[in-house]
Structures are given as C-alpha cells and as structure tokens.
Chain A
Amino acid sequence: MSAVVEVSGLTKRFGSVTALDDVTLRLEENVIHGLLGRNGAGKTTMMHLLTGQDFVTSGSIRVFGENPVENARVLQQVCFIKESQKYPDDFLVRHVLRSAPWFFPNWDAGFAADLVEEFRVPLKRRMKKLSRGQLSAVGVIVGLASRAPLTFFDEPYLGLDAVARQTFYDRLLADYAEHPRTVVLSTHLIDEVSNLLEHVVLIDEGRVLIDAAADDVRGSATTVIGAATVVDAFVAGRDALHRESMGGFASVTVGALTPAEKAEATAAGLELAPVSLQQLIIRKTGASREVEQSA
C-alpha cells in the first residue's frame, strides 16, 4: 500500500475554536475514500489544509511526500472541488471549462464535453446565474475531467437531482476504473455513496473516530431484533450503540459478532440485521445518545 496523503499530529485552530485536534491519517493511492462527519466536524478544514489553501496550527501534512503549501509540484496533481467554490462574476460556464486545462495537465476535453451534455449545463450562461444544481454540476465536471491523481469532492451534489447524482456516481466509478486515482468524497448522503466507498474516515468534533476499510466498518456492527427480554439477555454485557423498543420488541445495535455468537442469537430466535454505513455513523456521532435520553 502506498500513501498519497500522510497526516500526523495535525491541529488546526481558528482563534479559540479547535477545528482539528491532533489528527493522524493516511490516504492510500488509487482508493475512493469517504470523508464523513457532521456539519462543522472539520471535513472542509481538513481538505483546505491538504490542498495548501489553509495553514496548519501544528503537526505535519505530506501530500505525495511533500508539504502541499505553495508547492506547485504537488498541487498540480490535486483537484479540489468544493461546494463553496467562487467563480469570477463575469465568467460564463464555457470560460470555466476553457481555463481548466491550463491548470490540470490530465484534462480530458472530450470527457468534459460528454459530461456537459449529460448534466445539461448551459455553456453560455454566466456562472452567477446558474442554479445551485447547475453550479454543482460544473464542479463535478471539472473534478471528473481534470483526472487529477488526487481529487477532492466536498459536498459536490448540492442541488443536484437524484438523476444527476446517480450520473455523477456512475461516471466517477467508470472513469475511476479506467483511470485509477485517489478520490476523497466528503458527503452527507452516506447511504447513496456507500457502495462507492472503499475506505471510510469519520471525523467528529475535529477528531478521527473511524479510519478503516468500508467493509470492515459495515461488519463492525449488527442489529439484534426480537422479543425485548430475549434481546436484553443476549446483549447484556455488550456495548449497545443504539436501542429502540416498541411494545414487547426491541432492536439493539451492538458491535461485531463472531460466527458462534451469531448462531447463538439465531438459536434464541433473534433476528440479525446488517447496519448501514449511515446508521452506524449516525450512532457513532452522537445521535444515539439523544435518542436514549428521550426514550
């Protein structure tokens, strides 16, 4: 495994606010990563730092083995598409697409033209007159057609309809298969991208909670469903990530179960259900506590 990004002991403060707190992380080459977390968790800050657009408070960042800040050699390999990207007021869509190849050496103009058609982006419209969805589509087109060895998408789908989002996922996956590269996808729509992600990094309140292969994360929890008394007996002594009960039935999410434990649960008449990435992340980042308190 080869690391494209190596972060160690990274802390970023804005005044008295600690946005990232002693983060250590590796992103492997040619893997699609999901950078997940709630609003304000530090995802965008992290990407700003990795792309040299902001400065660390302490700790070190290595991108392609070097500090990315003011490093043209590294930044030429990087494309960062963010939801809040600003475009010059007088730019038309075609100006954005015309200028992109000057900055991204791997730019594929044919691919970009295909995407423009698929996303139905009006080339002659001013950037500031675009709808939120069209603006996102331009970002997605630049992010895909630039084929940068390290591509960041920060909430790239805002305002995109379900069809356009699916187009984005399909095109990303297809192009990634032909032109492998390292992708970091920051998103709230976890279930939608769940199948795309090979590696998951979960940030909460500036700290890394999960940094693991997506499959391992999915296997790291199981929901046990059945009669409340039986469920309670089975999960006694385990860490319950989440608990719901209705009438005499209960559904409790616990950590990974061994095959023997699974057999035991089934024998006791309990039902086992997989936990979706989104459910797991909701439970890891605090929502479960609120549910329990209100229950």
Chain B
Amino acid sequence: MTTVTAPTVTPALGNRILAVVRLHLTNRWTVIYLPWLIMLAILALNVAIWAIVLSAAAPENREEVRQNLGYSGAASYMFVYMIVIAVQAISVTFRFAQGYSVTRRDYYLGTSVAFVGFSVMFAVGLSILAAIEEATDGWGLGGKLFTSTVFGEGDGLARAFVFLVLALFFFFVGAAVAAIWVRWRAFGLTAFFVGLAFLLVGFGALIALTDSWVAVGEWFVATGFLGVYAWSLVPTAIAALTGYLVLRRATPQG
C-alpha cells in the first residue's frame, strides 16, 4: 500500500494570488463602473443645485454666494462605497474562493493586492476629477466637490496622497469588519463595535483626565495636515493584519 503524493511543483504564489485578484475583477460592473457612474451622477446633481442656487441669488450677492458654494461632502460617498466593496468582497468571495480550493492565505494576499489596486484606481480617478474641478473653477460655478479643504489645500500631489491613504483605510477597515462577520457573524460584529466604542470613549476619558487635550491639539498641529493622514496608515495596517488573523481560522459555513 502506498500513498499518492501531491505533485512537487506548487503553482507559483504569484499566479495563485493573481487568480484571486482576477476573481475580484470578474464582475467589473460592481467594483469599477458602478461607483464612477454614481459619482458622476452625484457631481451632475451638485452642479445642477449650484446653478439653481446661483441663479436664485440676487445679482449683487452672486459673487458672495459663489464663494460659499458647495463645500460639499458628497465625495465621501466614494469612501463609503469602498467599505461596501470590501465588506461584500470578503463576506461573499471568501466562501466562494474556499469552494474553489483557495487557501485562506492566498485569498487574503490576493484580496489585499486587489484592494490596494482599487485604492490606487480611486485615488487617481478622484485626483483627475479634482484637477478638472480646479481647472474649470469649480465646473464653472465655483463648486467644490473634490477640492474640498478636507482633501488638502490645493497641492495636487498631496491631494492624491490623501485620497490614497483614505481609500486604503476604508478598504482595510472594511476587510477587517467583514472578516469578523465571516468568522463570528452578528455576535462578532456586536462585540467588536461595543469593544471599539469602549476603547474610543476610554481613550477620550484618558486624555480628558490627564488634561492632555492641549497636547493632542499640539500633536495635530505639529504633525501637520499630511502627517496626520500619513499616520492613518498605522490603523490601516493594524486593520489589514487583524483581517488576516481573523480570517486565517474562519470556515466558509459560518
């Protein structure tokens, strides 16, 4: 009696990871076309509203209204959508990929590569829209959807960096939350969010009790606008690692 052994040639890690990346790209409609279509629809709506507001303003006030037009938060839709992609990707493709004999490690690596790729795509797209917005003086109306001060003070490269780290943050936080869902379902999510709330409130209380709010404010000032965004990579990395550790022992039957 003998044992049949697996072939000694393992398919290259790169190919296995690429397969998972392609899995996330199989239906491009959900991950690429749809979010941009919705984003453009939001832009069109905003432009229409700006035009209505401007035309309603008395001619002598028009310039003042224009100055205050649309510090719109509508671009944040994109970041909410990123969480949706991440959660959906993991909560469904994980079980699918398990059915296709993919190891959890290959799945998570491939998913991470896909998420970084999506983040770059969104950052580049949003940067292009921001550049157009700037070049056209806010779509001819002074509106600010992609050049809101939340995203920077007008330096295009810095803004692209902000878009990128924000996208990475939302993708990997989404990945970690989805991994918790896959592994422990509703109970896990509840425990996670209650724990997170305690942690944040506790952190706030710690700062307040040690009279450190001034120090915290100073830290933000000293770290600077881009510095604070750069620091977001730390929670992003923690979320990415958490997602893997949680998924590593997850089972597809849930």
The interface-forming segment of A48-56, A195-203, A263-271 is A48-56
Residue total for B at the interface (Cβ-Cβ under 8 A) = 39
B119 to chain A minimum Cβ distance, whole angstroms, is 20
Query: A1 within 8 Å of B by Cβ?
Result: yes
Q: Could you say which residues of chain A place their CB within 8 Å of the CB of B105?
A: 70
Pick from B3, B27, B251: contact of A48, CB below 8 A.
Answer: B251
| Those of A24-74 within 8 Å (CB) of chain B | 29, 48, 51-55, 62-66, 70-74
Q: Across the interface, do A86 and B252 meet the contact criterion of CB distance under 8 Å?
A: yes
The interface-forming segment of B87-95, B189-197, B234-242 is B87-95
Binary interface encoding of chain B residues 1-44 relative to chain A, with 1 for a CB under 8 A from any of its CBs, else 0: 11111110011010010110011001101100000000000000
Q: Across the interface, do A87 and B96 meet the contact criterion of CB distance under 8 Å?
A: yes
Q: Could you say which residues of chain A place their CB within 8 Å of the CB of B13?
A: 72
Classify chain A's interface size.
Answer: 35 or more
Name B residues whose Cβ lies closer than 8 Å to a Cβ of A.
Answer: 1-7, 10-11, 13, 16, 18-19, 22-23, 26-27, 29-30, 88, 92-93, 95-106, 248-249, 251-253
Q: Across the interface, do B93 and A53 meet the contact criterion of CB distance under 8 Å?
A: no
**Can you list 13 A-B contacts with CB-CB less than 8 angstroms, sorted by A residue number?**
A3-B4, A6-B3, A64-B6, A70-B105, A72-B103, A74-B6, A79-B101, A86-B95, A86-B96, A88-B92, A102-B19, A103-B100, A148-B101
Q: Across the interface, do B29 and A86 meet the contact criterion of CB distance under 8 Å?
A: no
Q: Across the interface, do B22 and A99 meet the contact criterion of CB distance under 8 Å?
A: yes
Q: Across the interface, do A29 and B99 meet the contact criterion of CB distance under 8 Å?
A: no
> Do A73 and B10 form a contact, CB below 8 Å, given A65-B3, A80-B101?
yes
Q: Across the interface, do B102 and A89 meet the contact criterion of CB distance under 8 Å?
A: no
Query: A82 within 8 Å of B by Cβ?
Result: yes
Report the bound CA distance from A288 to B88 in whole Å: 48
Query: A238 within 8 Å of B by Cβ?
Result: no
Q: Across the interface, do B22 and A102 meet the contact criterion of CB distance under 8 Å?
A: yes
Pick from A81, A90, A102: contact of B29, CB below 8 A.
Answer: A90
Q: Across the interface, do A66 and B6 meet the contact criterion of CB distance under 8 Å?
A: yes
Q: Across the interface, do B6 and A88 meet the contact criterion of CB distance under 8 Å?
A: no
Pick from A53, A87, A89, A148: contact of B252, CB below 8 A.
Answer: A53
Contacts A1-B1, A89-B88 aside, 10 further interface pairs with beta carbons under 8 A come to: A2-B2, A48-B253, A55-B249, A64-B5, A70-B105, A76-B10, A79-B101, A88-B92, A88-B93, A102-B23
B126 to chain A minimum Cβ distance, whole angstroms, is 23
Pick from B11, B96, B97, B253: contact of A105, CB below 8 A.
Answer: B11
Query: A224 within 8 Å of B by Cβ?
Result: no
Q: Could you say which residues of chain A place their CB within 8 Å of the CB of B251?
A: 48, 53-55
Report the bound CA distance from A29 to B2 in whole Å: 10
Q: Could you say which residues of chain B place their CB within 8 Å of the CB of A85?
A: 95-96, 99
B5 to chain A minimum Cβ distance, whole angstroms, is 4
Binary interface encoding of chain A residues 205-226 relative to chain B, with 1 for a CB under 8 A from any of its CBs, else 0: 0000000000000000000000
B142 to chain A minimum Cβ distance, whole angstroms, is 38
